[in-house]
């Protein structure tokens, strides 16, 4: 007897995995799949709108992973920010798998968006990412897997930070995710490596997951900044390279202490101001001030030349 083809096995698995979420949600096509969960387009028959339904993947069906999906839903529910996808509902399928329902996002991932976006637009996107992550830190939530693939640019220009599946809550949940304060050890402990190579902080790569604090997200943001700044293939200006270097320092104590400090330095650089991460020479400072005030400098020079011409003409 001939065995089933790979395509047939995949089709059979998809039909088995397809969730039945009760009378309210009409589940449509699969729109995303990861190690922990699968995301389907669905129609909310009560509110008459399209939504995204995330359910535990059958191959990842275990109590620990199920708890992580529920944990992600609770994390998203406490993060009410325009840059973070809102959760509308949560529940349990008839087969025992947990699910939650969120806003349906359409757009382009940042790792694809860089190919068509201008450099200035990419820096604007980066600052919006920082805004969302900074808000999460203020709510004591650390993302721990910030990558271009986990950022979506919506069809109306909105910037959304996605995939909070390995996020953790630091502290007691009533204040900011402070430096050196990371708890919630029930989700992951030291020795477990979570994150994406090239974007996760060195302490995460070494397995110090439970002790990684908000500065691990600063590292991830610095790696994203490097990614978008080098997308065109051009060399980084020295101040920007210094910002990236500080954000991605191996030692967490050498990094920016907060996301806001990193974002402020990027804004200063974009505005032609001095940045905290870079000590400029007197010549560089003069050039920077000239570029920032070029119109005023040229106007003063034009006035000085005109006065000189008038004085010379009167002396003739």
Give the Cα separation of 24 and 48 in Å (integer).
Answer: 10
The pair of structure tokens assigned to 90 is 């949560």
**Pick from 18, 22, 21, 44: which is nearest to 30 by CA?**
18
Give the Cα separation of 69 and 73 in Å (integer).
Answer: 6
> At 306, which helix (H) or strand (E)?
helix 294-315
**Pick from 206, 207, 215, 146: which is nearest to 179 by CA?**
215
What sign has the CA pseudo-torsion 115, 116, 119, 122? negative
Please state, as a whole number, how many other Cβ atoms lie within 10 Å of the Cβ of residue 87. 20
* Contact assessment for residue 194 and residue 200, using Cβ atoms and an 8 Å cutoff: yes
The pair of structure tokens assigned to 117 is 């976006």
Within its chain, how far is the Cα of 152 from the centroid? 9
> What order of strands is seen across the sheet that includes strand 151-154?
107-109, 151-154, 159-161
* Contact assessment for residue 181 and residue 213, using Cβ atoms and an 8 Å cutoff: yes
Catalytic residue among 145, 163, 213, 217: 145
- Residue 309: which residues within 8 A CB-CB, separation 6 or more? none
**Pick from 107, 239, 230: which is nearest to 160 by CA?**
107
For residue 145, indicate whether it is catalytic: yes
The pair of structure tokens assigned to 51 is 């939504």
Cβ-based burial of 104 (10 A; exposed 0-12, middle 13-18, buried ≥19): middle
Active site residues: 145
């Amino acid at each position: 007897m001939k065995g089933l083809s790979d395509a047939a096995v995949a089709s059979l698995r998809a039909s088995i995995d397809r969730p039945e979420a009760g009378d309210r949600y009409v589940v449509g096509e699969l729109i995303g799949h990861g190690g922990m969960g699968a995301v389907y387009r669905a129609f909310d028959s009560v509110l008459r709108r399209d939504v995204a339904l995330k359910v535990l993947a059958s191959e990842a069906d275990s109590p620990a992973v199920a708890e992580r999906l529920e944990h992600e839903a609770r994390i998203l529910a406490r993060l009410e920010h325009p840059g973070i996808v809102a959760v509308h509902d949560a529940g349990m399928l008839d087969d025992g798998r947990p699910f939650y329902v969120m806003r349906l996002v359409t757009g382009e991932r940042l790792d694809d968006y860089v190919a068509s976006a201008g450099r200035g637009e990419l820096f604007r996107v980066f600052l919006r990412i920082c805004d969302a992550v900074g808000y999460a830190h203020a709510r004591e939530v650390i993302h721990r897997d910030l990558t271009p693939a986990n950022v979506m640019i919506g069809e109306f220009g909105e910037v959304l930070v996605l995939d909070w599946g390995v996020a953790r809550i630091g502290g007691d949940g009533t204040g900011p995710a402070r430096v050196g304060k990371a708890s919630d050890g029930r989700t992951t402990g030291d020795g477990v490596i979570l994150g994406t190579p090239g974007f996760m902080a060195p302490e995460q790569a070494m397995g110090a997951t439970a002790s990684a604090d908000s500065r691990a997200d600063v590292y991830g943001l610095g790696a994203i900044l490097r990614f978008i700044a080098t997308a065109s293939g051009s060399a980084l200006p020295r101040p920007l390279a210094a910002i990236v270097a500080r954000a991605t320092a191996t030692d967490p104590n050498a990094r920016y202490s907060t996301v806001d400090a990193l974002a402020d330095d990027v804004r200063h650089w974009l505005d032609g101001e001095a940045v905290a991460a870079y000590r400029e020479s007197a010549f560089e400072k003069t050039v920077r001030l000239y570029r920032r005030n070029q119109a005023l400098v040229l106007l003063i020079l034009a006035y000085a030349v005109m006065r000189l011409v008038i004085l010379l003409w009167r002396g003739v």
